[in-house]
Amino acid sequence: MIGRLNHVAIAVPDLEAAAKTYRDTLGAHVSQPQPLPDHGVTVVFIELPNTKVELLEPLGEGSPIAKFLESNPAGGMHHICYEVDDIIAARNALAAGGARVLGDGEPKTGAHGKPVLFLHPKDFCGALVELEEV
């Protein structure tokens, strides 16, 4: 079912400062900020030779990462995104196996313009899992 690692995401309180750290201290190539109002976050991506790092900060009221940042005020590892060939088939198989698919269970369009879903961290070793159909 899961394929390549698409990205590892780090939630941060200040996206500009975090992007500067990655750009100036770690010499990374950092994309321009991408507001995702449907997801309540603004993101940047750091392209690495073998995968990507997503930095995300809350956008607007009711951001899904606000509570995470209350518990992790300096920021922290937020989720891991795996690629799947067929997100509906993956969702149906996972739900049939008892996994909790977050939201209304229907894929939304993610930062890469592809369908994404999230799986509850308590069902996957304490890690929030994102699936992206590629």
Catalytic residue annotation? 130
Judged by beta carbon, residue 55 or residue 94, the one nearer Co ion is 55
Site for Co ion in 103-132 (CB under 5 A): 130
Cα–Cα distance for residue pair 90/131, rounded to 1 Å = 9
Order of strands, sheet of 41-47, starting from the edge strand that comes earlier in the sequence: 34-36, 41-47, 52-58, 5-11, 76-84, 128-133, 115-119, 108-109
User: Which range binds Co ion by CB under 5 A, 21-29, 48-56, 67-75, 120-128?
Assistant: 48-56
- Residue 121 binds which one of Co ion, ligand LZKTLF4L, none, with CB within 5 to 8 A depending on kind? ligand LZKTLF4L
Judged by beta carbon, residue 43 or residue 84, the one nearer ligand LZKTLF4L is 43
Cα–Cα distance for residue pair 68/35, rounded to 1 Å = 19
